[in-house]
Amino acid sequence: MKFTESTIPGAYRVDPEPIEDERGHFARMWCRDELRERGLVGELAQASVSYNNRRGTIRGMHMQAPPSAEAKLIACTKGSIYDVIVDLRPDEPTFLRWEAFTITAGNRRMVYVPEGVAHGFQTLEPNTEVQYHISAPYDPERSLGFRHDDAAFDIAWPYEVTSISERDQNHPNFSLERLEKQLEYTA
């Protein structure tokens, strides 16, 4: 696995290093030891998948607060996505900064999202499937959501939104006070 640092501390673009032969190729998607060598969370508690019918579908922006904070490794196994992370760690110099990655089934690229960083994506084509390797089980009491179109982030999504859950659409606008309250409540 080849790790390329993001502009957001602790976040990485991860490229599998396939071993090819006449059958095709084989590559690791998760390696506890390689993650730990970089000081990243190497435990895997859950793997999830989302299937998205339409181009323009948005899922996010999501994260979990401590003590259920989660790191994620995101891969697109069918189709393509515009994958976005937002740093919501107030003590980081990149607080409120976002970065995007194009992840496709063809490029096999992944994104490592550290704890305290929100994640979301928009599908770039119909019938897109996304896999999530997650370090902590889902905990609804500590689940946090932020609007994908919040002016505090000013994310430049590539397409008009064609599908979004009611829950994601109705998240309140970001405020530091709200974030701090949620983090205090969940601690």
pLDDT per residue rounded down to tens, the chain (187 residues): 999 999 999 999 999 998 999 998 898 888 899 999 999 999 999 999 999 999 999 999 999 998 999 999 999 999 999 999 999 999 999 999 999 999 999 999 999 999 999 999 999 999 999 999 999 999 998 899 999 999 999 999 999 999 999 999 999 889 888 788 777 755 4
Set out the domains of the chain in order of their start, with CATH numbers.
2-186 (2.60.120.10)
Burial 79-103 (b: 16+ CB within 10 A, else e): bbbbbbbbbbbeebebebebbbbeb
CA distance 70 to 56: 26
pLDDT at 186: 53
Structure-token pair, residue 21: 């032969």
Which of the residues 12, 62, 82, 112 is marked catalytic? 62
Which of the residues 12, 82, 132, 138 is marked catalytic? 132
pLDDT at 148: 95
Q: How many residues does the chain have?
A: 187
Residue 62 annotated to the active site: yes
CA distance 128 to 59: 12
- Our measurement of the distance from residue 102's CA atom to the centroid of its chain's CA atoms, rounded to an integer in Å, reads 12
pTM of the full predicted structure? 0.92
